[in-house]
Chains A and B, each alone.
Chain A
Amino acid sequence: MIATGKAGEALDRAGLGPVREADARRCSALGAEALPEVAPREPGQVAEVLRFCAKERLACVPVGGGTELSFGGVPRRVDLLVSTSNLTGVVEYAPADLTATVRAGTTLGVLRETVSRNRHEVPLEASGGDWATLGGVLAAASDGPRRLLWGSPREQVLGIAVAHPDGTIAKAGGRVVKNVTGYDLPRLHAGALGTLGVIVEATIRLRPKPRAARAAGVAFHELDAAAGFLRAVRASPLRPSTLDLLDPEGAQTAFGAEFAAGWLFLVRFDGEEAALEAEGGRLRALAAERGGRFLPFANPERVLLEDPRRIAWGGALLWLRASTVPSMVPTFLERIRREAGGRPVSALARAGIGTIHILAGGEFPLSEVPTFVGAARETARGLGASLLVVDAPPAARRDLPVWGEAPGGIAVMRRLKQAFDPEGVLSPGRFVEGL
């Protein structure tokens, strides 16, 4: 028999098993040695497991692909993982309506494959790529380079079904693309990290795959010139689907010598062949005006850095994400570079959106993590940005202010948590202000 602890045995006795031992990486991401894991086969079973947890005061963490488990604070307590790995499959794919209703444990890879037969695409991205599950992507509100074209992941959720610790499953939204019937609970659960309930099913929007795509890099020696180019592109009629900016270290790590030419923009256009030709020409002209080097990519998929960790030299020791407005991106990059002061730190800005991923590489001194995070947080505060620790070694994470200052409306957030999870069994301590 495997060692699944008291919680595991209790679940087994209650007929809610089988209980297995969770993968070691998952445990360590949550700062635990070993943990039992259950993987219910039906949405109703998820609700039963949660009800059991509430009754027995067992703290549980929902897990999908396990790709974002380290996101957020280290939970105050974990007794159990509730996996959606057996909760898979496309419930309804309506090609003519461009919608799909999917069980939460279905991976993006499977979903992408399923809809590609009709030349559709899933307007969601995640650092875990194909391995991320739909439930996980929504719970973490993961995004990627094409958010500029698609909008935030919250905009893709049309309907949702969520299992709660009172043993119920509540639906909200629906399967249609426009809907104001009842409160928009899909938005509430998107980005809530499963702290209000476990997403068991969701209906999302799909998009027709664009007929064509083009991509180019535009490289600048100086950040000032890059900032001017960013302003010019944003003020132009160009509508890129991706507008990322890598600092020199990030560019070097992700693309090697090929594009190692300073500050590198990754720009992609999706659309009609004829329009792309013209947009490419305009982009080239804007680059030339500011002394940028125009570097066309033969394969437009290559510019899509879905996983920011690709810019971290020697693996990612620490991953921070700042959120600001696009005009502030260059200043933020400059300041954070100053804070890094020669240590292995690289940055990837989704410059058209205003998010900035900051990665400290494997050789960054562990002991300097807290002061660097503190300095990054000060930088963010000074610029009106927010800063979040996405990943750090669990030992360091425990003492780091992962979320920063209390957000506006925290009193309402506390009451929401209290209303949905009165026993505090859903990932206690993982969310803002210890929720």
Chain B
Amino acid sequence: MTASPLVRDLLRMLEPDGVLCEPEDLLVYECDGLALFRATPEAVVLPRSTEQVAGVVRFCAARGVPIVARGAGTGLSGGATPAPGGIVLELARMNRILDVDAEDRTAHVETGLVNADLSAAVRSKGLFYAPDPSSQFASTIGGNVAENSGGPHGFKYGQTVRHVLGLTVVLNDGSVARIGGPNAENPGYDLVGVFVGSEGTFGIATEAWLRLTPIPPFVETLLFSFRSLLDGCRAVSEMVAAGVEAAALEMLDDRTIAAIEASVYAAGYPKEVGAVLLVELDGTREEVEAQAREARSIAKRCGALATSEAVEEAERARLWKGRKSAFGAMGRIAPDLYVQDAVVPRSRIAEVLAKIGAIADRHRLRLANVFHAGDGNLHPNLSYDARDADEVRRVLQAGEEMLRACVEAGGSLSGEHGIGLEKRDFMGLLFTEADLEAMGRVRRAFDPQGVFNPGKVLPLRACRERVPAPAEEPVAP
């Protein structure tokens, strides 16, 4: 195939293997983890340095070619779906760990680094990188930063934003800015804080300074089963209220347990129960033991039927096995899985889950709930077959109704997967025109021309207007 002018120009900036343009190479870039949205990019570039990224950005911005950054493409809201006529900029080749400071517990890395590789690299120093999305063996730091990803241990350790100290970002004019840094405070607006979670619409993060966390000296995992989800939720509320600072508080409902136990991933979870609650505690031995006593007594008071406990790593892994394989087990039921992600106030979990169950039943869909109970972050999972157009329609309809139920209960549209393309048009459920306009202003302050990931996050009308350039604006280096 003869290379297009765009590709020929890109090739001048990168090595020959740094640009992909053959249709079969572009195929995998058509979508991210949410396969319901697809588009073919003009080309894919695979830079090896911040300078190369800056060169590509400067070139594309000058020609109005949209750029979509991509890490591993595991995103679940269509964030990495290519923009029509645009290129995909994949950071996979920028995956070096540049520096680790064990005393101040920070790491300086390139953003194409896979999340789990960082923890593996610093384990010998007694440290780990706390954000642990279930996709951590594939997803990249850049993707995690862009989505502000969470994970089971986010309940205690917080989402990605708590662990990002600074970033090197390439802005829309190809300039490179270092924002934030390892110091306790940095003068000026908290640009790092807003960049995290901006879903690739503000710029390209090429390097990150991350906070590392000491590996806790003692860990205990407790598994409680309950007759009903309601009992389980009550236990969670009481634990939160009593200050049980669990590292994780994860719940599985009866439908999920049944799916797991019927699959090759069977974890030996108690059958015929309404819910299983996993509680992980970490800290010093005394702290963990005191908290475990508290958790046990609350669970008992809330009607826990059975309890398993584990301290040894292998044993703990056994208790976690069912939770970790929940998605895989669901995948066995049907070829495709739609993972919904929404948040409700934690006091209203049981009530909203009842509504969600009714919605799935009404649309004749197979539902299973696995969720981060400690933060009220629900994941209603719907198994379906993408070849069945009617079922796809019902899945999307049910997904929307579930979001509405969460919003009505005082919740929000996403706890960790982001808005992307998937939920862009539901932003109006939560936000007014004025709210969206304020967000649009921030986006345009970062990217006045709308080069990065156009069409994502904000409903289109909120991105339209352009910011006038301030008079005293210095020429960017």
A residues adjacent to B (C-beta < 8 A): 94-99, 141, 151, 154-155, 162, 164, 168-172, 174-185, 187-188, 190-192, 196, 207-211, 231, 234-235, 237-239, 271-275, 277-279, 321, 323-327, 350, 353-355, 384-386, 388, 403-404, 407-420, 422, 431-433
* Shortest Cβ distance from B147 into A: residue: A180
Partner of B372, one of A178, A350, A355: A178
Cβ–Cβ contact B439 & A190, under 8 A:
no
In this complex, which of B159, B162, B438 has the most chain A Cβ atoms within 10 angstroms of its Cβ?
Answer: B438
Within the complex, the shortest CB–CB distance from B61 to chain A, in Å, comes to 14
Chain A residues with CB under 8 A of B38: none
Within the complex, the shortest CB–CB distance from B332 to chain A, in Å, comes to 29
Per-position 1/0 for B395-436, Cβ under 8 A of A: 000000000000000111111111100010001001110111
Per-position 1/0 for B146-161, Cβ under 8 A of A: 0110100010001101
User: How long is the Cα–Cα vector from A325 to B182 in the complex, in angstroms?
Assistant: 7
Cβ–Cβ contact A326 & B104, under 8 A:
yes
- 18 A-B pairs within 8 Å (CB atoms) are namely A97-B347, A168-B437, A174-B412, A178-B343, A179-B343, A180-B417, A185-B194, A207-B243, A237-B284, A274-B289, A327-B103, A403-B187, A407-B186, A408-B178, A409-B178, A411-B171, A416-B445, A417-B470
User: How long is the Cα–Cα vector from A182 to B473 in the complex, in angstroms?
Assistant: 27
| New contact pairs (19) apart from A174-B411, A386-B183, CB-CB < 8 Å | A96-B237, A164-B438, A172-B439, A177-B346, A181-B413, A182-B435, A184-B194, A184-B196, A190-B193, A209-B243, A237-B217, A237-B283, A278-B285, A324-B183, A408-B179, A408-B180, A412-B179, A419-B441, A419-B445
In this assembly, does B389 line the interface, its C-beta being within 8 Å of a C-beta of chain A? Answer: no
Chain A residues with CB under 8 A of B28: none
In this assembly, does B319 line the interface, its C-beta being within 8 Å of a C-beta of chain A? Answer: no
Cβ–Cβ contact A275 & B286, under 8 A:
yes
Cβ–Cβ contact B194 & A409, under 8 A:
no
Given A99-B345, A191-B190, A275-B284, are A325 and B106 also a contact pair (CB < 8 Å)? yes
Cβ–Cβ contact B437 & A239, under 8 A:
no
Chain A residues with CB under 8 A of B386: none
Given A407-B187, A411-B474, are A181 and B414 also a contact pair (CB < 8 Å)? yes
Given A187-B190, A190-B190, are A279 and B472 also a contact pair (CB < 8 Å)? no
Cβ–Cβ contact A432 & B188, under 8 A:
yes
Judged by DSSP, the binding face of B is: loop
Within the complex, the shortest CB–CB distance from A138 to chain B, in Å, comes to 11
Cβ–Cβ contact A411 & B175, under 8 A:
yes
Cβ–Cβ contact B291 & A272, under 8 A:
yes
User: How long is the Cα–Cα vector from A169 to B434 in the complex, in angstroms?
Assistant: 7
In this complex, which of B190, B216, B468 has the most chain A Cβ atoms within 10 angstroms of its Cβ?
Answer: B190
Pairs of residues from A and B, 9 with the lowest C-beta to C-beta distance, nearest first: A187-B193, A208-B243, A170-B438, A272-B290, A96-B347, A354-B184, A415-B445, A407-B188, A178-B375
